[in-house]
Amino acid sequence: MSAATGLLGGKVVAISGVGPGLGRTLAVRCAENGADVVLAARTRERLDEVAAEVTALGRRALSVPTDITDDESAAALVATAVDEFGAVDVLINNAFSVPSMKPLARTDFQQIRDSVELTVLGALRLTQLFTPTLTATEGAVVNINSMVLRHSQERYGSYKLAKSALLAMSQSLATELGPQGIRVNSVAPGYIWGPILQGYFEHQAGKYGTTVEQIYEHTAAAADLRRLPTTEEIADAVIFLASPMASAVTGQCLDVNCGEFHH
Ligand SMILES: NC(=O)c1ccc[n+]([C@@H]2O[C@H](COP(=O)([O-])OP(=O)(O)OC[C@H]3O[C@@H](n4cnc5c(N)ncnc54)[C@H](OP(=O)(O)O)[C@@H]3O)[C@@H](O)[C@H]2O)c1
């Protein structure tokens, strides 16, 4: 085991929603910054794959298959993490499933409920359950939001509804948990340039007879930096907010979008 140096040296970070995109990168990047990680999502195989990447970096990883919409499953996550590591310093709420992309007028209420159940109540359930150990460590929560906060484009209504409630909740939790020393912040990524978006651009390129490079350039033209942020760059903003570097920052939302939207 290497010495725990880095922005998160010696910290234990729990990540909810470890998928192939940002969740995986967050886990690897936290380990590179000195943290041990608790990995939670429903698919054990993926957790174990990411755990192997973390341990290859010399940090400890604990895979806990979890459904964050289920009280018992979420409680078991927290108990297992505290049992293994003694305490948890950081909770990152990243879990995600593709929301309804229909106009709100035609969106089935159950789809909206499911989205709120996962994005809002899932994050709140974990925050409630982790609060005792986060109080003990004067820890931090980072909620992964989205640039959907900053626009009202068609078909994003369900997603915006859930993510806006997540932002409101993060701000209220910052006020409520601040006296216990717990910081609560949000990161709102824009497009994330990684394998998932690349696959989508490849699909679009085939459909419209153009190239991935052209679609990338067209998309990036709206951003001040004329490029899209990488998964690693989003993860680094999360790590900053989770780290002692941000010890006076709470109740804030950091937009990471290469300047596509100003806030
Ligand atoms: N991708 C983008 O371009 C983009 C842009 C802006 C914001 N974001 C935000 O960034 C975050 C990560 O997005 P991503 O696409 O990169 O996702 P990801 O990290 O690849 O995966 C998220 C994982 O959440 C897990 N999950 C879903 N429901 C769950 C549940 N009930 N309990 C536990 N885990 C659950 C899923 O794994 P299981 O199925 O194994 O449970 C899924 O693989 C999201 O909050 C998203 O809103 C993404």
Cβ–ligand 1 distance for 21 under 6 Å, the answer yes
For 124-154, write each residue's pLDDT tens digit: 999 999 999 999 999 999 999 999 999 999 9
Confidence bin at 263 (pLDDT 50/70/90): confident
CA distance 49 to 61: 11
Give me the residue spans of the domains in the chain. 12-192+230-256, 193-228
Counting ligand 1 atoms within 8 A of each CB, the residue from 96, 143, 216 with the most, and so the one to mutate, is: 96
Which protein residue has the closest C-alpha to ligand 1 atom 33?
A: 41
Walk across the sheet containing 36-41 and list its strands: 61-65, 36-41, 12-16, 90-93, 140-144, 183-189, 253-256
The third-level CATH classification (topology) of the domain covering 12-192+230-256 is Rossmann fold (3.40.50)
Cβ–ligand 1 distance for 17 under 6 Å, the answer yes
Per-residue HEC secondary structure of the chain comes to CCCCCCCCCCCEEEEECCCCCHHHHHHHHHHHCCCEEEEEECCHHHHHHHHHHHHHCCCCEEEEECCCCCHHHHHHHHHHHHHHHCCCCEEEECCCCCCCCCCHHHCCHHHHHHHHHHHHHHHHHHHHHHHHHHHHHCCEEEEECCHHHHCCCCCCHHHHHHHHHHHHHHHHHHHHHHHHCCEEEEEEECCCECHHHHHHHHHHHHHHCCCHHHHHHHHHCCCCCCCCCEHHHHHHHHHHHHCHHHCCCCCCEEEECCCCCCC
Supply the Cα-derived Rg of the chain in whole angstroms: 18
Among candidate residues 156, 159, 191, 216, the one labeled active-site is 159
pLDDT at 1: 47
Report residue 175: phi and psi, to 5°.
-65, -45
For 18-60, write each residue's pLDDT tens digit: 999 999 999 999 999 999 999 999 999 999 999 999 999 999 9
Question: With contact defined as beta carbons under 8 Å apart, do 169 and 253 qualify?
Answer: no
Cβ–ligand 1 distance for 41 under 6 Å, the answer yes
Cβ–ligand 1 distance for 47 under 6 Å, the answer no
What's the whole-number average pLDDT of the chain? 96
Of residues 57, 55, 60, 66, the one with CA closest to residue 95: 66
Point out the ligand 1 atom lying closest to the alpha carbon of residue 23: 19
Catalytic (active site) residue 159: yes
Tokens of 56: 């290859």
Measure Cα distances from 222 to 89, 145, 157, 261 in Å: 37, 20, 21, 9
CA distance 24 to 26: 5
Q: What is the mean pLDDT of residues 168-183?
A: 98
Cβ–ligand 1 distance for 194 under 6 Å, the answer no
Q: Is the pLDDT of residue 3 over 70?
A: no
pTM above 0.85, yes or no: yes
